[in-house]
Amino acid sequence: MSLLRRSLLLPTMLVVAGLLGAAASGEQNNLPTRRTPAVDATSTSARVIVKYRNNASVLSTGRATAQSSSVSAHAGPQLASTMGGRLGVALSDGRPLSANSQVLMASGMSSQVLADKLATDTDVEWAVVDGRRFALGTYTPNDPLYADSQSSATPVAGQWYLRAPTTSIKSAIDVETAWATTQGDSSVVVAVLDTGIIKTHPDLASKLVSGYDFVSDTSVANDGDARDSDPSDPGDWITTAENASGTFKDCGAGDSSWHGTQTASLIGAATNNGVGMAGVAPNVMLMPVRVLGKCGGYDSDIIAAMRWAGGLTGSGVTAPTTPAKVLNLSLGSSGTCSAAYQSAVTDLTAAGVVVVAAAGNDGLAVGTPANCSGVIAVAGLRHSGTKVGFSDLGTAVTISAPAGNCVNSSGTCVYPIITATNTGTTSPTTSTYSDGTNYSVGTSFSAPLVSGTAALMLSASSSLTPGQVTTLLKSSATAFPGAETGVSACHAPTSTAQTSECYCTTSTCGAGMLNTGAAVVAAKATAPTPVLTASANTLLVGESLSLDGSSSTAPSGRTVASYLWQITSGSASFSSSTTAASTTLLTTTTGTVTVKLTVTDSSGYSASTSQSFTVAAGKPTASFTASTATPSVGATVTLDGSASKATSGASLTGYLWEITSGTSLASFSGSTTTASTTLSATAAGSVTVRLTVTDSNGYTNSTTQVLTVSASAANTTTSSNSDSGGGGGAFSALWALGLLILALMLGRRPVAQRR
């Protein structure tokens, strides 16, 4: 069998050889951003929304009080005083929300503790924490290389291609608008078919799922073996001697490219982590698939890898646990699409896999596999929106995206594409980033921008087909800027390369300039909106949890047609139907359980949402000791709750001391929200003290003790001279009485007779 032509890398780049200086740490962005509402279990300022039952007695009492005090009975309930008396808690009124709901506030406890207390009242239908929500503002990451105005070597423009376009930088793709909708979903996997990856790079280490090395020729592989499960990049350098003769003759001598690491970082580098660069789709996962080694790779290896990564059978390798939804192919060579490539692409797109490929860097017609039917072929643009000279072009191009360009003929490159890379010239050494001196440009770096965009679109609308992704990318693209003075129009490719800048048309550079923000917004508009509500966020082992998706909606003119409930992580099971609008989750072990709800509408579009729940071993144990259970009036009692404890995996986060009966007989003289406190007895009688502890899962438990306060003996008699108080005074009176009786007895003693 003849050896298939090796497909070569597509970058036009200077190999990174220099170490990028230490990046200054970026300041945390203070703009309003999407945040997860959080409830602080240790807070001592509680806010709760409470809804009273329609027939609640407190409502009728409250309305009568309002009428008698000339307050409008239609203003909504203001029942803090009434509810506080019923619960033994000092409450204050917040705003009413309706005729039978309002906000209640308290101090000295968390919102969850107050909600739990209110929920026990028979007049309360429900009580929920009044959580904080935040505006969905523009998201700007704190990655040091993202922002404008960098040092000249960085380059100055930073990651110009990701930001919103300006009058001077027209081809920027506007990821921040997309991030307002989604930063990606971890269930979406993008396979990067390339030279492999440096797994330890700080912007990639947390972003990888298991991949594979499909390079079957040991000399090309350069890692000591052929196919194996390790897709790490060992380096693809070629020495001058190797280039002169032998297997790698005329391949071109050069240092290792770290090409797969570069392309992967553009798709999904860890973002807003204060390190390095930002990726287009920060929260999607990356599957490194090694198909290229020294002097490229074989078509057979590439095609086998394409099929494997997309979950198709026949590669001879066990299928990945989570197949990729997007394939990025920053590789290729000249020629027409072969039947082998076309068959693979056809099967993959039929299976719902989006295939993205770089157009090529020769200034000629689009190469293969980018020119296969069903592939999204990506040409390269300059910062100004014109075609960069090296980019291939023609009717096979689907869309264009930034490829990087230097503008100047000397000095640092002004508009390169910043990527993650390595300083090693042969084997990997130190992780770094390309910059204005050791720069990266090429359609190899245009394609990942489109692959990342496709991943965001699928995160926003999981049921999009490859054809629908392509259609939305094209319809949302920004129009090319048109003619420029001194710049000629691009023309149909010929055998002569067009290596000069030219202004694009839709017949030469595709539908327009990639607009990631518009594409993701368009994708989101096609999808239904899944809404998952749960009866609680935390629960105990063995408890069940009610899950409801009935509030999910479909776009106008459509309806929600089906529901699917799935457990994506953790140990639990469903005890009712997983295809109904609601279901019940039964927990089996401690930990975190993540549930995903997928809704599909009447037009076949689907979307998913996930929620995680904490499963605790049990409630905390509340326990306290009192320095005395029988204090006298005026005495103080030390109460110590430090023996209270949480269950395994949790910790105590809050204490609350309360007097539940005998409130007029004693009061706290110390803090009521610490592990210990002091109580002062003021009158005789029985006083009941309660300690409530809260753990890090939000669970609470309480215990009580009854203290018997006795009247002080000092109230009977007093003595200012006795250290023993009133008792000493009584003793002195008895002593005087005894002396008097003795004297009288002696006075009556008979006198002896004289003789």
Q: What DSSP string describes 437-490?
A: SS-EESTTTTHHHHHHHHHHHHHH-TT--HHHHHHHHHHTPBPP---BTTBPBP
Lowest mean pLDDT among 94-108, 440-454, 549-563, 599-613: 94-108
- Kindly give, in sequence order, each residue whose CB lies less than 8 Å from that of residue 591, ignoring residues fewer than 6 positions away: 570, 571, 615
| For residue 144, cis peptide bond before it (omega within 30 degrees of 0) | no
Chain mean position to CA 181: 13
**Quick check: 506 and 474 in contact, CB under 8 A?**
no
- Comparing 28-42, 395-409, 421-435, 643-657, the range with the smallest average pLDDT is 28-42
Q: What is the DSSP letter of 14?
A: P
Q: Is residue 475 predicted with pLDDT exceeding 70?
A: yes
The amino acid at 648? S
Residue 754 has pLDDT above 90, yes or no: no
* Rounded Cα–Cα distance for residues 14 and 10 (Å): 12
- 405: Cβ contacts below 8 Å, ≥ 6 apart: 382, 383, 388, 413, 414, 415, 441
Least confident of 54-58, 138-142, 525-529: 138-142
pLDDT, position 349: 98
Instruction: Indicate the SS3 state at residue 685.
Output: strand
Quickly tell me which residue has 């490229």 as its tokens. Answer: 296
Q: Report residue 446 as tokens.
A: 């245009």
15 or 118: whose pLDDT is higher?
A: 118
Triad 400, 378, 480: Cα angle to 5°: 10
Alpha helices in 527-607 (DSSP H): none
Looking at the predicted structure, is the pLDDT value of residue 3 above 70? no
Report which residue type is found at 751: V
Q: Can you tell me which residue has the tokens 């992580």?
A: 569
pTM across the whole model? 0.66
* Structural tokens at position 548: 């409801």
Under the banding of pLDDT at 50, 70 and 90, the label for residue 2 is: very low
Phi, psi torsion values for 713, nearest 5 degrees: -60, -20
Q: Measure the CA–CA gap between 336 and 326, rounded to whole angstroms.
A: 23
Q: How far apart are CA 166 and CA 173, in angstroms?
A: 11
* CB-based contact 338:13 (threshold 8 Å): no
Q: CA 636, CA 627: separation in Å to the nearest integer? A: 9
Which residues make Cβ contacts (< 8 Å) with residue 722, sequence separation at least 6?
728, 729, 732
- The tokens for 657 are 């001391």
Report pLDDT for 62.
61
Q: Are 648 and 695 a contacting pair, CB within 8 Å? A: no
Taking only Cα atoms into account, the Rg of the chain, rounded to an integer number of angstroms, comes to 38
How large is the average pLDDT for residues 482-488? Answer: 87
Compute the average pLDDT of residues 475-495: 93
For helices 516-526 and 466-475, the axis angle rounded to 10 degrees is: 130
CB-CB neighbours of 363 under 10 Å: 20
Can you name the residues that pair with 658 across neighbouring β-strands?
A: 690
Confidence of residue 473 (pLDDT cuts 50, 70, 90): very high
pLDDT reported for residue 648? 85
Query: By three-state DSSP, how is residue 5 classified?
Result: coil
Structure tokens at 6: 């090796």
* Confidence at 621, pLDDT banded by 50, 70, 90: very high
pLDDT (tens digit per residue) in 205-215: 999 999 999 99
- The per-residue pLDDT for 63 is 59
* C-beta atoms surrounding 454 within 10 Å: 34
Whether the pLDDT of residue 337 is over 80: the answer is yes
Confidence of residue 131 (pLDDT cuts 50, 70, 90): low
Contact call for residues 709 and 680 (beta carbons, < 8 A): no
Rounded mean pLDDT, 337-363:
95
**Residue 429 confidence (pLDDT):** 97
pLDDT for the residue numbered 21: 29
Helices (H) and strands (E) in the chain, counts: 13, 33
Contact 311, 320 (CB under 8 A): yes
Residue 611's identity, in one-letter code, is: Q
755 CB-near residues (< 8 Å, 6+ apart): none
Q: How far apart are CA 648 and CA 654, in angstroms?
A: 17
- The answer to whether residues 229 and 316 touch, using CB atoms and an 8 Å cutoff, is no
Q: What is the DSSP letter of 710?
A: B
Cα 592 from Cα 569, distance rounded (Å): 8
Enter the tokens of residue 158: 């930073």
pLDDT-based confidence at 413, cuts 50/70/90? Answer: confident
Distances (CA, A) of 565 to 122, 584, 595, 598, 610: 33, 10, 7, 7, 10
What integer pLDDT is reported at residue 185 of this predicted model? 94
Lowest mean pLDDT among 95-99, 161-165, 714-718: 714-718
pLDDT digits (tens, 9 = 90+) for 80-93: 999 999 988 899 99
CATH superfamily of 527-610: Immunoglobulins (2.60.40.10)
Classify strands 212-213 and 297-298 as parallel, antiparallel or unpaired: unpaired
Measuring CA to CA, how many Å separate 576 from each of 238, 544, 568, 573? 61, 11, 17, 9
Kindly state the tokens that stand for 605. 């579009």
Question: Residue 104 is inside which H or E element, if any?
Answer: strand 101-107
Task: Look at residue 145 in the predicted model and tell me its pLDDT.
Answer: 62
Domain segments of the chain: what residues? 45-129, 527-610, 625-711
In which band, very low, low, confident or very high, does the pLDDT at 73 lie, cut at 50, 70 and 90? very low
pLDDT value at position 22?
A: 28
Q: What is the pLDDT of residues 543-589, one digit of tens each?
A: 999 999 999 999 988 999 999 999 999 999 999 999 999 999 999 89
What pLDDT, on a 0 to 100 scale, did the predictor assign at position 221? 94
d(Cα 239, Cα 252) in Å, to the nearest integer?
8
- CA separation for the pair 649, 559 (Å, rounded): 43
Neighbours of 194 (CB within 10 A): 30
| Residue 54 main-chain phi, psi, to 5 deg | -60, -35
Q: How far is CA 141 from CA 34, 60, 269, 273, in A?
A: 12, 53, 12, 8
Phi, then psi, of 163 in degrees rounded to 5: -80, 180
pLDDT at 746: 55
- pLDDT band with cut points at 50, 70 and 90 for residue 731: very low
Burial letters for 565-602: b for 16+ Cβ neighbours within 10 Å, e otherwise? beeeebebebeeeeeebebebebeebbebebbbbbbbe
Quick check: 109 and 41 in contact, CB under 8 A?
no
Q: Which two tokens stand for residue 188?
A: 């979406």
Q: Is residue 36 over pLDDT 50?
A: no
Mean pLDDT (whole number) for 729-750: 54
Nearest alpha-carbon partner for 523 in 107, 177, 98, 70: 177
From CA 65, how far away is CA 84, in angstroms rounded? 16
pLDDT bucket at 370, cuts 50 / 70 / 90: very high
> Can you give the pLDDT at residue 34?
27
Tokens of 131: 């959580």
CA distance 317 to 656: 59
Quote the CA–CA distance of 319 and 101 in Å, as a whole number.
54
**Average pLDDT score over the chain:** 85
Instruction: Compute the Cα dihedral for 124, 126, 129, 131 and give only its sign.
Output: negative
Same topology, domains 527-610 and 625-711? Answer is yes
Cα-to-chain-centroid distance, residue 682: 53
Query: What is the percentage of the chain residues whose pLDDT exceeds 90?
Result: 64
Say which residue the tokens 């368009």 belong to: 522
How many residues in total does the chain contain? Answer: 755
Range 118-143 burial, b when 16+ CB lie within 10 A, else e: beebebbeebebbeeeeeeeebbbbb
Question: What is the homologous superfamily of the domain 625-711 according to CATH?
Answer: Immunoglobulins (2.60.40.10)
pLDDT of 714 strictly over 50: no
What pLDDT shows up at residue 112? Answer: 84
Predicted confidence at residue 538, as pLDDT, reads 85
- Percent of the chain whose predicted confidence (pLDDT) is above 70: 83
Q: Where is average pLDDT lowest: 66-80, 144-158, 335-349, 566-580?
A: 66-80
Q: What is the DSSP string of 123-137?
A: TEEEEEE--------
Give the Cα separation of 520 and 178 in Å (integer): 6
Q: Do the Cβ atoms of 384 and 391 come closer than 8 Å?
A: no
